[in-house]
Amino acid sequence: MDTSISEHMLVISSQEAEILKHQHAIADIRIELNKLAPISRLPPEILLEVFIIYADICRLSARNLARKDKIPRNAWLRVTHICHAWRTLAISYSRLWTHIDILRSDAVKEWLHRSKSLPLDVSNASASSSTTFGRLPAARRIEALLLALQESHRIRNLEIRYPRFAVGYETFELAWQQRRTTMLRSVVLTTHFDWYGPKGGTPIVTRLLRGMPERLERLELTDSYLLCKDLMYPDALKFLKQCKWTSRGPWAETLPELLGVLGASPLLEVLHLQDMEPGVDPMRDMSLVPVVRLPNLRTLWLGSRPLPTLTLLSKLSFPHTATVEMKFTPDGNLPSQLESLRPLVAKCLTGAGTGGQYFPMVTFSVEGRGCDNVDFRLWKTAQSYRAIQEQNSDLLMSFDIYEVFLTWSQWVTILQSVLGSVDIPHVRILHIGAMHRYAFITDFRLALSGMSGMEVLHVTGWTSRELLRLIYTRKEQHSEHVFLPNLRTIHLHNVSFPHHPRQESDVTELGYLMERLQTRRDRGSPVETLVLDRCYNLTPEDVETMRETVRELCWDGVEEMGDPVVWRPPEPDEFDEDDADWDAVNEIEFDDD
């Protein structure tokens, strides 16, 4: 019995040895086969370029937060686990390790070692949003940051987007050793050591500027408790081309200090100042403050209160071809500040100080209490303006009206007061946000009646009924008059069409819209381009039918059903046509429902 068992075990061992032998043979054959594969025959320098391209794709995908299928930022590290040859090749190639993510200090140390002496791109943009980073103690974050900053003489691009934390600030202050930053080209610092922390420390950006970067071109500071004196290093700013500064802390400086920083950057092409409140010293004669000349400026974005914005603008000289975008945040009662808005509008739109020429594009947005997503909408519409500017080189004026808790009678006052300082027929672009519930289309049509030169209308958050009442009324059936005769492009965003007609015999509002677009066409004022973006209750069949009334129709293909969450104006009270004063309202009336 024992003998038979022993013989059986010997047979099993022999078979297992045979299997192992064949496995080794298969592995050897696979190695030989892999050598014959096309990618294995690539020269090392070409294979390394493939690695570099893949790493760049991973980093770009990770930054695109809108993509659901985005690739992890460090997914390219997989190439070091394919085979020993690839791993050896990748580790020995310093260029692969120059993009350093600030997360764990041991990883930062290894990246610095492998990158040797090459310029570095240091960032925590992807790590700051991870759950692992959120659980790290502040001291660990400071440790990883300090490890990277020890090589500040090699840093080319620095991007730090830390969440607010005060613990560890003293550690940072004691551990920092001032180093040269001669290779620095770009600095992006967000929510770093802000006013929740100590006030006596030296800001990171100040230490970086002290390192005397030889060609700093981009400086972006957000949520920073900074003063102008923290940035006043002229030799470090003389090549600056892009500057974005958002300051949300208390502001006690005067305008000359801010102008001093801007004057040290004569090559500025893009200037973005938000929530900056430079005080104006009433005892100081501002006429003695010299004007700062920015001959290369292409884009100016100012978000502040009207008075400091006006004062700052009066001390800047830049080409009339620059793009000017402004967002006003009023103090207290908005209509009471119209007198300060008027000269600001006049300066920009009449080209005061620029040889009497108009700026090609000016955006005005008044932000009041209750506004939502104003920054996002401003950004989005700004892109639209740039797209239009590429096609039209002459005058473009545009005004944004967003949802503000004001009645339309107040809005009419605002429009008439602000626009009163410019030639209203020159306004060619208008953006209209969701209307307030007390708004009436008649008031709005009256306010726009003088904009005969308007060519582009952007509408956000309306219903199709409101849109119909704006662009056409039943009164126009009996005359050749066309409201906004030069209107050629309508952009509809988040516009709601009805689910279905109330009765089978009713014509849908979509049908009315098509009919009125056709009427404009017959009268020689066609709407040539219609853009549908996130519109509700539209089907592909509806869109195809609408193509018959316009030359070009752009639809995003999104079929949204239901009603968007936007303000709705109330149904108008019973309206007596016979008693209406049509001369007073420029022949405006509501359609009978």
Better-scored residue on pLDDT, 174 or 548: 548
Q: Which of 42-56, 285-299, 473-487, 492-506 has the highest mean predicted lDDT (pLDDT)?
A: 42-56
Counting residues of the chain whose pLDDT is more than 70, the rounded percentage is 53
Share of the chain above pLDDT 90, in %: 8
Question: Domain limits of the chain?
Answer: 30-97
The pLDDT value given to residue 184:
93
Residue-wise burial string across 372-400, b where 16 or more C-beta atoms lie within 10 A, e elsewhere: eebeebbeebbebbeebeeeeeebbbbbb
pLDDT tens figures, 198-233: 445 677 788 888 888 999 999 988 765 677 888 889
Highest mean pLDDT among 12-26, 154-168, 391-405: 12-26
Mean pLDDT, residues 343-357: 46
| pTM for the predicted model, two decimal places | 0.60
Overall average pLDDT of the 274-299 stretch? 72
Q: Is the pLDDT of residue 582 over 50?
A: no
pLDDT at 512 (0 to 100): 78
Question: Residue 305: exposed, middle, or buried by beta-carbon count in 10 A (0-12, 13-18, 19+)?
Answer: middle
- The residue-averaged pLDDT of 332-341 equals 52
Query: What pLDDT is attached to residue 330?
Result: 54
Distance CA 39, CA 53 (A): 15
127, 160 contact by CB (below 8 A): no
421 falls in which pLDDT band (50, 70, 90)?
very low
pLDDT in tens, 27-77: 888 777 776 777 667 788 888 888 898 888 887 776 654 444 556 667 788
The whole-number pLDDT of residue 587 equals 32
* pLDDT attached to residue 11: 86
Asked if residue 408 has pLDDT above 50, the reply is no
- Residues in Cβ contact with 378 at an 8 Å cutoff, skipping those fewer than 6 apart: 325, 327, 363, 365, 400
pLDDT at 66: 45
Residue 406 has pLDDT above 50, yes or no: no
DSSP conformation class of 425: G
Q: Residues 364, 345: contact at Cβ < 8 Å? A: yes
Specify the pLDDT at position 222.
78
Q: Is the pLDDT of residue 5 over 70?
A: yes
Residue 478 pLDDT > 80, yes or no? no
d(CA 435, CA 406): 10
| Cross-strand pairs, 304 | 328
Mean pLDDT of 507-532: 82
Q: What pLDDT does residue 393 have? A: 33
- What letter represents residue 457's amino acid? L
262 against 404, higher pLDDT? 262
Tokens of 555: 């639809």
Q: Which of 118-132, 149-163, 362-376 has the lowest mean pLDDT?
A: 362-376
More confident residue, 350 or 186: 186
Give dist(CA 329, CA 376) in Å, integer. 16
Beta bridge partners of residue 554, listed in sequence order: 531
Q: Would you tell me how many other CB atoms lie within 10 Å of the CB of residue 437?
A: 12
pLDDT at 131: 45
Q: Can you tell me which residue has the tokens 């119909």?
A: 468
| pLDDT tops 80 at residue 510 | no
The DSSP result for 16-57, as a single string, is HHHHHHHHHHHHHHHHHHHHHSGGGGS-HHHHHHHHHHHHHH
Lowest mean pLDDT across 47-56, 435-444, 505-514? 435-444
Cβ contact 475:430 at 8 Å? no
Q: How far apart are CA 75 and CA 352, in angstroms?
A: 54
d(CA 359, CA 535): 33
pLDDT for residue 461 is more than 70: yes
Q: Report the C-alpha gap between 161 and 101 in whole angstroms.
A: 11
The enclosing H or E element of 242 equals: strand 242-246
Q: What is the pLDDT of residue 205?
A: 83
Mean pLDDT across 250-261: 70
> How high is the pLDDT of residue 257?
81
| pLDDT tens-digit map of 126-184 | 554 444 444 566 667 778 888 888 888 999 999 887 654 444 455 566 566 777 899 99
Q: How far apart are CA 457 and CA 428, in angstroms?
A: 8
Which range has the worst mean pLDDT, 105-114, 444-453, 507-516?
444-453
Residue 474 confidence class, pLDDT cut points 50, 70, 90: low
